[in-house]
Structure 1
Amino acid sequence: MGRSVLLSCEPHEPRVLKKQISGRTPVNLGQERDIWKPLVQSTTNLSEVHSIRSVFEFRTFDPEGAIFYGDTKDGEDWFMLSLKDGIPEMQISKEGTIVSVAGGPKLNDGKWHLLELSNQGKFVILEVDRAKALVVGLGSNGADDLLSGQIRLALGGVLIDTKKMIVQFQPQMDGCVQEGSWLNLTAPWETEAEELWPCYQNIQPGSYFPGTGFAVFNTSVFSRDAEQDGLKIEIWGHFSQMDGTILSMKAPGQELLLALEADNNTKAVTLTFGNDKIMMAEDFNRLALIFQKDLLEVLMENDQSEARRLSVASEEQPAYLGTLAGGRLAIGGLLGEGEEHVGSHYLTGCLQKIQVQGKDLDLDLAVKHASVSSYSCPAEIMKGHID
Structure 2
Amino acid sequence: MTFDFTKIRKSFSSFELQTWDPEGVIFYGDTNPKDDWFVLALRDGRSEIQLHNQLAQVTVSAGPRLDDGRWHQLVPALDGCLRRGTWLDPQAQTSGSVPMRSLKSCALQSQPGTFFPPGTRAEFNLQDIPQPHVEPWAFSLDLGLQQAAGSGHLLALGTPENPSQLSLHLQDQKVVVSSGTGPDLDLPLVLGLPLQLKLAASRVVLNQGSKKEILALPALDLASLLKLWVQPQGRLFLGALPGETSSASFCLNGLWAQGQKLDMDRALSRSEDIWTHSCPQGPNNGTDTTH
TM-score by length of 2: 0.65
CA shift for structure 1 position 226: 4.5
CA distance in 2, matches of 1:320, 1:259: 14
Q: 2:184 aligns with which of 267, 270, 277?
A: 277
CA shift for structure 1 position 329: 1.4
Amino acid at match of 1:294: S
Give the corresponding residue for 1:198. Answer: 105
* Residues 218-259 of structure 1: CA deviation (Å, up to 9, x unaligned): 222236445445211110113554542111122476683212
* Residues 128-152 of structure 1: CA deviation (Å, up to 9, x unaligned): xxxxxxxx259xxxxxxxxxxxxxx
1:332 equivalent in alignment to 2:239? yes
CA distance in 2, matches of 1:76, 1:190: 16
Give the corresponding residue for 1:353. Answer: 254
Q: How does 1:173-184 map to 2 (within 5 A)?
A: 173-184=78-89
Q: 1:367 aligns with which of 256, 269, 273?
A: 269
Amino acid at match of 1:375: H
Q: How does 1:233-252 map to 2 (within 5 A)?
A: 233-238=141-146, 241=149, 243-251=151-159
* Residues 106-132 of structure 1: CA deviation (Å, up to 9, x unaligned): xxxxxxxxxxxxxxx943xxxxxxxxx
Q: Which has more strand, going by share of residues?
A: 1
Give the corresponding residue for 1:314. Answer: 217
CA distance in 2, matches of 1:201, 1:185: 26
CA distance in 1, matches of 2:284, 2:188: 24
Higher-Rg structure is 1
Contact 1:220 1:324 in 2 (8 A): no
CA distance in 2, matches of 1:259, 1:291: 12
Amino acid at match of 2:205: E
Q: How does 1:80-99 map to 2 (within 5 A)?
A: 95=31, 97-98=37-38
Secondary structure of the corresponding residue to residue 228 of structure 2: helix
Unaligned runs of 5+ residues in structure 2 are 14-27, 41-52, 59-72, 286-291
Q: 1:215 aligns with which of 104, 108, 122?
A: 122
CA distance in 1, matches of 2:29, 2:116: 38
Count of residues in correspondence between the two structures: 228
Contact 1:239 1:283 in 2 (8 A): no
CA shift for structure 1 position 319: 3.1
Contact 1:243 1:349 in 2 (8 A): no
CA shift for structure 1 position 375: 1.6
TM-score by length of 1: 0.50
Quote the sequence identity (%): 22
Q: Root-mean-square deviation (CA), in Å?
A: 3.4
Higher relative contact order, chain-length normalized (CA < 8 Å, sep 6+) = 2
Amino acid at match of 1:314: L
Unaligned runs of 5+ residues in structure 1 are 1-71, 81-91, 101-120, 124-135, 139-167, 302-306, 335-340
The 1:345–1:227 alpha-carbon spacing in structure 2 relative to 1, beyond 3 Å, is farther
